[in-house]
A and B are shown apart, each in its own frame.
Chain A
């Protein structure tokens, strides 16, 4: 089964045609066979029903009671034997009917609404989004927290703000350079511990002989994190792309382990207490960010806006273009004179420094311990970037808002530790159904579509694995 040919391309590689019924880039849409009600009983449809029912059962187990090791299967059994199961099964069947019957309707709808070819210059880097929309979003971001409860405001800072900033940084690595960093939180930890070292004599057993205002630690932490990124990335990045993922994974775990075990340095598992809050004493202005969450929120918002603007410029510059070139065809990029290794390292270092920077904010705001820098936190940031849309600045911020917003509103329903079940499911689901994310970057979406059609690539990790459908 070969997919539609890509116009203007040599014969597609054997492993690279599009899935049946998908539109090849710019090519005509394939018309599906017309639907007959009997099709519902076709083996493929029945298998689909089976899969959905299994997923319904799984969802029941996931949302069901918590078990323990003495009766390992009881919790699962209880959630399946519960009347709630009916609800899940009904949802599964309804979904199946929608998928089975809605297929043609959707194809028709899409066919009528999509232009044959992307409009001219669609993927060409327009400057940001429409200004009015951006301003409206900013206004919402400014006003909304004032209407929230203090707990929610606190959450906007701890949960949304910090993670949005972290996700913006990781987006440079994943979204722009097309690499995967699984130890991203380690740089955050470096930032936080650097802050404790420089700003307080009491927070950790190990401290500087002097104390600094946390504001002065920003550049130090930024540089340190970038340095750590370079030291880690330089040897690894010249290897096959997926090695970076596992080396960073190990690095993240080691930083966590060190923070946890080095009692005499970091205060171990007890964590660092008493890092001073951010404060300004300059030109007659005396202001301290205290326990009130709102001032922190606005500080974070300002930083996030600045970072978004800065990365937007970066994305549209020579550097951003080179990253795109590396993602789309690394060999051609090299041959055109792009120093691929250096640029990947740059992305990695920029990402790391944003993480280190966020670490300073985090440390000066609250008590922290190694628990704050667990591997799962790294994975969560990956989830935010993937969910929001890799390569899309607005996307990753929206991703942080939505995912953390949901955690906040479901906090009484879902135990904190169980959240990660859902985050994991979100990641897999997005990769299967919408790899470009919720608010995709145009270019990234196009790259993914094209690479799936056999034209170019969409990451800096080398050729797609074998076994892709011919």
Chain B
């Protein structure tokens, strides 16, 4: 089958995955906007959220058989909530343990990166030890029937739900940053932390909130990810790098940029994976990253958190 026969299917798959990248990318972008720091351990927040949601949904799953109707919705809601909670908790702990002591000391930048790497190594392998090192599957939460056909491409309930939830989260975050007092604080700190302090913004609180919001999104995104793929202790790395790429693609520190970047990257990867070879899918994202860094390091929409939101 040629590329064009598959085009719409690839587009839909790409958008679905891309919306997940976007959700994770927001975590990178928010923290970057506020702290000017790449949170290397964000992928582990995603992983822990994913496990949390998956285990919660699985615990409530009736024995045998795919749930249906209202029960599916209920399970997804529980999974999302628990996943988001676990993600938020992980991000909060991460900030407290790996970053805050360094901030108090005004440690050099290198220290933060290294500390994050350490935290990430710790979390990945502790998860491996506690949850085993095999892939963990979440049974289907929906009858995986096709809801409708779009330009000859099948759209399953599951992908529709994932896409819809992801988009809802993106819009919600955008509203949060653009339209609330909290968002105003976040933008103020992102633009100029010193001035923000003078204006009475509690920077410490903003930083924690930023981590927690990023964690909520990544955790919920982790559960969505586990619905289509599966979870494992090392699952964070690849989506993490891709989400970071998405954040840079859109302009790191820029909320709408991260969303755009995520969707674009999902598409590029989906088409590219079909045209080349699926096992090199991950390489594509990396090449995209290097290409943007070389051609337009400030990303498509520019870097300021305050600007686009």
Contacts and interface: CB of A to CB of B under 8 A. Distances in A.
**Do A and B touch (CB < 8 Å)?**
yes
Interface of A: 14-17, 19, 61-62, 66-69, 72-73, 75-76, 174, 178-180, 182, 235-236, 239-243, 245-247, 249-251, 253-254, 257, 261, 375-376, 379, 382-383, 386, 415, 417-421, 423-432, 435, 448, 451-452, 454, 457-459, 461-470
Given A67-B130, A72-B55, A428-B98, A461 B110 contact: yes
Given A250-B241, A424-B122, A382 B117 contact: yes
A69 B35 contact: no
Given A457-B108, A458-B108, A461-B108, 14 more contacts: A16-B106, A61-B130, A69-B132, A72-B55, A242-B109, A246-B40, A418-B128, A428-B115, A448-B107, A459-B110, A462-B109, A468-B105, A468-B106, A469-B105
A15 B102 CA distance: 13
A334 B121 CA distance: 36
Contacts of A418: 125, 128-129
B114 A72 contact: no
B106 A246 contact: no
Contacts of B207: 467
Contacts of A174: 110
A180 B118 CA distance: 13
3 cross-chain pairs, A with B, having the tightest CB-CB distances, nearest first = A427-B118, A424-B122, A424-B121
B78 to A, nearest CB: 15
Interface string B161-195: 00000000000000000000000000001000110
Nearest to A468: B106
A464 B119 contact: no
27 contacts: A15-B194, A61-B126, A72-B55, A75-B129, A174-B110, A239-B297, A245-B113, A246-B40, A253-B241, A417-B125, A417-B128, A419-B125, A423-B118, A427-B118, A429-B118, A431-B102, A431-B114, A448-B107, A459-B110, A461-B108, A461-B110, A465-B36, A465-B37, A465-B109, A466-B34, A466-B189, A467-B103
Nearest to A380: B121
Contact of B282 (A15, A67, A257): A257
A66 B125 contact: no
Contact of B293 (A235, A419, A423, A426): A235
Contacts of B244: 246
Contacts of A430: 118
Contacts of A72: 51, 55, 130-131
Nearest to A240: B297
B148 interface: no
Nearest to B193: A466
Contact of B130 (A76, A253, A419, A464): A76
Nearest to A15: B106
A376 B290 CA distance: 22
Contact of B121 (A62, A249, A427, A457): A427
A451 B110 CA distance: 12
Contacts, number: 212
A375 B113 contact: no
B123 interface: yes
A435 B101 CA distance: 12
B133 interface: yes
B283 interface: yes
Contacts of B110: 174, 178-180, 458-459, 461
Given A182-B117, A250-B241, A466-B189, A424 B125 contact: yes
B304 to A, nearest CB: 14
A376 B248 CA distance: 24
A66 B129 contact: yes
A455 to B, nearest CB: 11
A436 B194 CA distance: 28
Contacts of A17: 106
Interface of B: 34-38, 40, 51, 55, 97-98, 101-115, 117-126, 128-134, 136, 189, 193-194, 197, 203-204, 207, 237-238, 241, 244, 248, 279-280, 282-283, 286, 289-290, 293-294, 297
Contacts of B294: 235
Contacts of B128: 417-418
Contacts of B132: 66-69
Contacts of A16: 106
A251 B282 CA distance: 11
Nearest to B34: A466
Given A467-B35, A470-B197, A427 B117 contact: yes
A261 B133 CA distance: 21
A229 B35 CA distance: 29
Given A261-B280, A424-B123, A254 B286 contact: yes
Contact of A464 (B34, B106, B279): B106
Contacts of A421: 121-122, 125-126, 129
Contacts of B136: 69
Contacts of B108: 448, 451-452, 457-459, 461, 464
Contacts of A240: 297
Given A69-B132, A428-B98, A247 B290 contact: yes
Contacts of B36: 463, 465-466
A222 B188 CA distance: 49
A25 to B, nearest CB: 13
Contact of A467 (B125, B203, B280, B286): B203
A373 B241 CA distance: 18
A16 B293 CA distance: 31
Nearest to A68: B132
Contacts of A448: 107-108
A247 B189 CA distance: 27
A249 B121 CA distance: 13
A236 B293 contact: yes
A7 B131 CA distance: 54
A452 B105 contact: yes
Contacts of B115: 427-428, 431-432
Contact of A180 (B113, B194, B283): B113
A179 B170 CA distance: 34
Contacts of A251: 286
B47 to A, nearest CB: 13
Contacts of A420: 121-122, 124-125
A253 B295 CA distance: 22
A243 B295 CA distance: 14
Contacts of A424: 118-125
Contacts of B197: 14, 470
Nearest to A425: B122
A463 B107 CA distance: 10
A261 B279 contact: yes
Contacts of A67: 129-132
A324 B118 CA distance: 25
Contact of A247 (B112, B114, B123, B289): B289
A251 to B, nearest CB: 8
A69 B230 CA distance: 12
